[in-house]
């Protein structure tokens, strides 16, 4: 278990719903990854590098609503600037399962 944090610390993390609108292979990444373009509604269109190739072919990700952290500093990965962190969980095979909404939610809505 990680260190205990306050509720105020949790509130600093901006978790939002977004819809994946583009998926491209990312051959320059050190580990297999996709370059995602995600629509966050009023927050705009953001990019992310995501190591989710094991369980998701590109066409399965298009129009999928995901949860992402949108207030991390952008991270340069090879020739690509990743602006948000798509959230996922490692399954028992140590492959990432993307956190999804399960229901259609307005893009940009805050997760609380």
pLDDT at 112 > cutoff 90: no
CB of 39 closer than 8 Å to CB of 107: yes
Cβ neighbours of residue 9 closer than 8 Å, sequence gap 6 or more = none
> Selecting from 3.30.1330.60, 2.40.50.140, 3.30.530.20, 3.30.2130.30, what CATH number does the domain 13-98 have?
2.40.50.140
What is the average pLDDT across 49-73?
Answer: 97
What is the rounded distance in angstroms from the CA atom of residue 83 to the CA atom of residue 79? 13
User: Tell me: the pLDDT tens digits for 3-42?
Assistant: 999 999 999 999 999 999 999 999 999 999 999 999 999 9
How many other C-beta atoms lie within 10 A of the C-beta of residue 51? 16
User: Tell me: the pLDDT tens digits for 80-90?
Assistant: 999 999 999 99
- Confidence (pLDDT) at 90: 95
């Amino acid at each position: 278990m990680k260190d205990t944090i306050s509720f105020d610390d949790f509130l600093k993390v901006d978790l939002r719903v977004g819809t994946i609108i583009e998926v491209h292979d990312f051959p320059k990444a050190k580990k297999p990854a996709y370059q995602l373009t995600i629509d966050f509604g009023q927050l705009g269109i953001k990019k992310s590098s995501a190591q989710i190739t094991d369980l998701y072919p590109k066409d399965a990700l298009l129009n999928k609503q995901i949860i992402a952290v949108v207030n991390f500093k952008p991270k340069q990965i090879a020739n690509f600037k990743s602006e948000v962190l798509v959230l996922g969980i490692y399954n028992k095979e140590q492959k990432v399962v993307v956190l999804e909404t399960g229901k259609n939610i307005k893009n940009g809505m805050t997760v609380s």
